[in-house]
């Protein structure tokens, strides 16, 4: 409460009254002053008495409030002091040191042990992380080095982005160097069967490698995630390898095989760059399989430079004949490129009856023309039927042959 200003105003009022009295005395003389003072004293006696009482009341109230507040504060401190001290002691850090008797050893410091255990755990976690990282690095290296021993240095051109097949200085060609052994003197009709579009499904690719005989040729997609590893496994099992080359189909770009597709709208350099990109994705293959291409295969001006590049690399070209009007076999013959072409799509309609009918058709072509090529997909039903069908070819006097045993053997009529 702000009482001091109020008290000062009371004192000023009293002082003003006193000054007035002195002035009256000076102006009217002693007699008049005496009379007036008497009257004034009589007149102001009552108000001045009230003011004095009011001032004392204010002082008393102030003292009561101050003293009462101080008393309450002192009382609270006396009552709560003990609890406050206990709380302060409780939150104050302290160290307890036991005094050991003679011959007594100090107990183990558990906090130090826990810290050591934590450090050990951190070290173990760090070692585990390093081991996992090393394992991942090893897996990547294994995939990158999967072609070691599979590709031959004398017919390989190493580039920054992958290996490319080349004809050796002494004339040896990759398609012959990577071909598997086959009895060329065998006069029985030959069927070469190609499983295309491999590597995109681990399940289907694994089933193909496990269930089908080594004389079946395997053609892999260049975008397969584990392409080099699959090629290595296939080569180790004795299969000949091809790479799929996607070519522009009718309906492009709505029907788009991918960014590396060879296009009629692209110039020669662009198409050859795409071709090299595909070839660099693996190694150890004997040639390339043209897939789709219902439009590209009809344009000799864009098709022929691609076939020339394949020949310069010492590879064979296999035409899937997605369209019966494909110029692939004819153009390949004109530049003496080793070639083969498809006669039957085995599982275009993937049902048991349709697949068996197509295999019968393939046998008839082989018996009539002595050489035939069929292309199939790695579908479960196809793999199951082919695994049984191949076992019966010997009794039919038909040889299952790798694709290189068919090269330049087929009649184009």
Distances (CA, A) of 276 to 89, 121, 257: 81, 51, 17
Q: What pLDDT score was predicted for residue 48?
A: 56
Q: 3-class DSSP state for residue 242?
A: strand
In angstroms, the CA 386 to CA 362 distance is 13
Question: 3-class DSSP state for residue 380?
Answer: helix
Residue 155 and residue 163: Cα distance in Å, rounded? 10
What does DSSP say about strands 162-165 and 156-159: parallel, antiparallel, or unpaired? antiparallel
Q: What one-character DSSP code corresponds to residue 262?
A: B
Place of tokens 């692939």: 328
Please list, in sequence order, all residues whose beta carbon lies within 8 angstroms of the beta carbon of residue 204, skipping any fewer than 6 positions away: 198, 378, 379, 380, 383
Contacts of 272 (CB under 8 A, 6+ apart): 305, 306, 309
**DSSP assignment letter at 188:** S
pLDDT of residue 326: 96
**What is the secondary structure of 271-311 as a DSSP string?**
HHHHHHHHHTT--S--EEEEEE-TTGGG-HHHHHHHHHHHH
The CA dihedral of 27, 32, 33, 34, to the nearest 10 degrees, is: 170
User: Crossing angle, helix 300-312 and helix 268-279, to 10 degrees?
Assistant: 40
- The pLDDT assigned to 5 comes to 62
Q: What is the pLDDT along the chain (413 residues), one digit of tens a residue?
A: 455 665 666 566 556 555 655 554 444 444 444 444 444 554 454 455 666 666 666 767 767 676 766 667 666 655 555 555 555 555 555 544 454 445 555 454 444 444 444 455 445 555 555 455 544 444 444 555 788 889 999 999 999 999 999 999 999 999 999 999 888 778 899 999 999 999 999 999 999 999 999 999 999 999 999 999 999 999 999 999 999 999 999 988 888 888 899 999 999 999 999 999 999 999 999 999 999 999 999 999 999 999 999 999 999 999 999 999 999 999 999 999 999 999 999 999 999 999 999 999 999 999 999 999 999 999 999 999 999 999 999 999 999 999 999 999 998 76
**Proportion of the chain in helix, strand, coil states, percent, rounded to 5:** 55, 15, 35
pTM: 0.66
Report helix angle 227-236 to 202-211, nearest 10. 10
CB 168, CB 159: distance < 8 Å: no
CA distances for 184 relative to 48, 187, 290, 358, 365, angstroms: 147, 8, 26, 26, 20
């Amino acid at each position: 409460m702000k009482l001091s200003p109020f008290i000062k105003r009371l004192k000023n009022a009293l002082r003003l009254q006193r000054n007035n009295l002195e002035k009256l005395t000076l102006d009217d003389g002693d007699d008049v002053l005496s009379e007036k003072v008497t009257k004034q004293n009589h007149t102001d006696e009552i108000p001045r008495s009230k003011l004095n009482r009011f001032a004392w009341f204010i002082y008393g109230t102030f003292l009561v409030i101050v003293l009462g507040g101080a008393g309450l504060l002192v009382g609270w401190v006396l009552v709560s002091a003990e609890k406050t001290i206990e709380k302060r002691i409780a939150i104050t850090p302290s160290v307890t040191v036991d005094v050991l008797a003679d011959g007594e050893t100090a107990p183990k410091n558990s906090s130090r042990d826990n810290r050591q255990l934590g450090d050990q755990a951190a070290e173990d976690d760090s070692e585990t992380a390093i081991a996992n990282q090393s394992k991942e690095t090893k897996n990547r290296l294994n995939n990158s080095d999967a072609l070691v021993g599979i590709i031959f240095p004398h017919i390989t051109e190493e580039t920054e982005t992958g290996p490319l097949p080349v004809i050796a200085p002494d004339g040896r060609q990759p398609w012959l160097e990577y071909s598997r052994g086959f009895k060329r003197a065998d006069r029985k009709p030959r069927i070469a069967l190609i499983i295309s579009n491999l590597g995109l499904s681990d399940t289907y690719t694994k089933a193909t490698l496990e269930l089908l005989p080594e004389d079946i040729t395997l053609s892999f997609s260049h975008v397969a995630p584990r392409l080099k590893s699959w090629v290595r496994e296939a080569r180790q099992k004795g299969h000949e390898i091809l790479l799929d080359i996607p070519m522009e189909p009718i309906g492009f770009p709505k029907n788009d095989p991918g960014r590396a597709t060879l296009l009629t709208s692209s110039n020669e350099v662009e198409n050859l760059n795409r071709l090299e990109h595909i070839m660099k994705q693996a190694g150890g293959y004997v040639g390339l399989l043209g897939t789709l291409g219902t439009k590209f295969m009809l344009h000799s001006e864009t098709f022929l430079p691609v076939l020339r590049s394949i020949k310069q690399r010492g590879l064979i070209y296999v035409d899937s004949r997605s369209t019966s009007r494909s110029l692939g076999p004819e153009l390949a013959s004109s530049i003496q490129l080793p070639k083969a072409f498809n006669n039957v799509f085995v599982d275009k309609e993937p049902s048991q009856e349709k697949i068996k009918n197509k295999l019968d058709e393939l046998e008839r072509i082989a018996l009539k023309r002595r050489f035939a090529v069929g292309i199939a997909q790695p579908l479960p039903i196809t793999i199951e039927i082919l695994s049984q069908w191949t076992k019966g070819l010997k009794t039919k006097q038909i040889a299952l042959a790798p694709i290189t045993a068919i090269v330049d053997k087929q009649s184009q009529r």
